[in-house]
Amino acid sequence: MSQTTGVEKLKEKLLGSRRPEDTRLPSFVSSAVAIEKSKVQGFPVYRLIPERARGNIFYLYQSDFSMPIRKKEWEYILELCRMTRMAVTVPLYPIAPEHDCEEAFDFLIPAYQGYCKRREEGPLIFVGSGAGAGLALSMMLQIWKEGLADPDKVVLLSPVMDTEFFDPELEKTLKRDGRELEFQLVKEFLNAYWVKNYAGRMEFTAPIYEDLHDICKDILVASGTKDPGNGYARYFSAKVQDTGNPLKFFEFRGVGRNFYFHSSKKETKHLMKVLHDFLLDTDDAIMYQYMQEVRQRADYSKWFPEIFRDEHAVRYISGHPKRAVGERKGMSIYNLVNASVLAAFDSAVELFLKEYPNGTVVYVGCSLDTMLERVDNGRVLWYNLDSPGRMAIRTMYTGLGKRERRIERSVDDFAWISELSAEMDQGLLFVVRDIFSYMSKKEMREFLNLLYKNFQGCNVLFDMPTARARVMSNMKGRNRGAEYRKRQLSMRDPRRELEVMSPIYSIVSERSVLENVHPRKSWKLGLKMSLMSNRRRNAWKIVHVRLGYEKYKTFD
């Protein structure tokens, strides 16, 4: 069967799937909010209007350029309307194979003009999903040329920004996933029925490659790592950030495109909190969630100042007293151990920098911790590494230091290794706090072996509980809801167990995090006794290991 025959069969299948109800608003939407319906060039435009609307969203749906809007997306749009209390305009734009790209934009620009005229008080916001996100980006380029009102904010969800598939990396990804034939079919179909006369006019067909300096200054991008278009989301985000625009990029590990249409997913709940704060200019949802760890470090600084002190957290909470109010357990052994772990890491990093003052430190899974501020010797090159979502929140919390680099990658996305540049003869330390205990022993060994392979002779600093401490930590952590993760790994004797793992692991030091912690007179008797018990059992240790021999080499 030829590819052309496959394209024609796909066309027939799509046309046969069309139903009259595809352009009708579902009854569950019309019964929930006020609806205003209009038509532009014969295509329907729906406007969902909540009571006392306080803003305007222009929503371009996920069509794959050839599919009508689905029920799940209407449910998502309704939830967006309810959550933001903004009027949401949904134009049902022309799609292939009946219509092409040129007809779509001939419809969308007048539809946007009408949207601007009927706006409510409040901001103008673009939200695009999938193919709609690519159309939204193209529209932003056209709006500037037409002299129309610029959107105040833009949200791009699982964006598809290249219908001519100029990027060969996408083809490689799909080939790896066994989807090469499907990709070729879609590519030929879009070229024949969507791109058509607009071939090579990238502002319409592949806006990701256009000059992005003058687009909206407040952009949020969300994508799943299993989305075939995830690479485009990453490329776009990096390109916009290179212009000096502080774009917010949230990447969700292990989910595919359109994951946000499934309200039960924890990733969807997380994203909705992000959108709540982004669209409404608040910090009521996602910032509240993330600020708990900052509140904890401020509390440790107050309760145990002779053990741990984080001036940055103290200053922040003092200036934002309502931002991280939550349950506070007080001076318990649980909090004492946590404060001691932080202090032990700071002390160990400072010791490393005394030996290697011009060294490089990579803080793996840094979250919002400002360790660099606490241990900075004025010379160290520091990498903070965490997921794009956490890094976006981190940017809202703290600025970028002069010798600080940031890598927006999930810890288990080992592509971050290629983004490191370290002079090995100056010393290289990986700080891995509160990560290995969530792994299996096999996963930990694979992680360390990968570091050894790429940076032989590097140092790794990590913490590890005993079995009993792990169980107690899991019990205490259950109240964290969606953020809760169960610790899997514990070690009673890290030195012996690491040597069994591999002979290339050389233990530099291991010690209890409570080794130098001494009770104060003001502490309650229960806390003093718990401290003595945990110290005697070496309940939580910090381990410094070297991977292989120091064969110094400069990595570019």
Task: Using a pLDDT cut of 70, give the percent of the chain over it.
Answer: 92
With 70 as the cut, is the pLDDT of residue 85 above it? Answer: yes
Q: What is the pLDDT of residue 103?
A: 96
Under 8 Å between Cβ of 548 and 508:
no
Give CA–CA dist 66/25, Å, rounded. 18
Beta strands 43-49 and 87-91 are: antiparallel
Q: What is the pLDDT of residue 83?
A: 95
Average per-residue pLDDT for the chain: 88
Under 8 Å between Cβ of 224 and 251:
yes
Q: What is the pLDDT of residue 177?
A: 62
Q: What is the pLDDT of residue 117?
A: 85
Q: What is the pLDDT of residue 180?
A: 66
Give CA–CA dist 276/282, Å, rounded. 8
Q: What is the pLDDT of residue 4?
A: 58
With 90 as the cut, is the pLDDT of residue 531 above it? Answer: no
With 70 as the cut, is the pLDDT of residue 317 above it? Answer: yes
Q: What is the pTM of this model?
A: 0.76
Average pLDDT of the residues in 63-78? 96
Q: What is the pLDDT of residue 174?
A: 63
Which residues on adjacent β-strands are paired with residue 406?
384
Average pLDDT of the residues in 454-478? 86
Confidence tier at 176 by pLDDT (50, 70, 90): low
What pLDDT digit, counting tens, does each position of 289-299 carry?
778 889 899 99
461: which 2 tokens?
């600093």
Give CA–CA dist 484/479, Å, rounded. 7
With 60 as the cut, is the pLDDT of residue 216 above it? Answer: yes
Give CA–CA dist 475/484, Å, rounded. 10
With 70 as the cut, is the pLDDT of residue 348 above it? Answer: yes
Q: What is the pLDDT of residue 479?
A: 52
Q: What is the pLDDT of residue 349?
A: 97
Other Cβ atoms within 10 Å of 27 Cβ, number: 8
> Poorest-confidence range of 72-81, 320-329, 494-503, 509-518?
320-329
> Poorest-confidence range of 28-37, 183-192, 371-380?
183-192
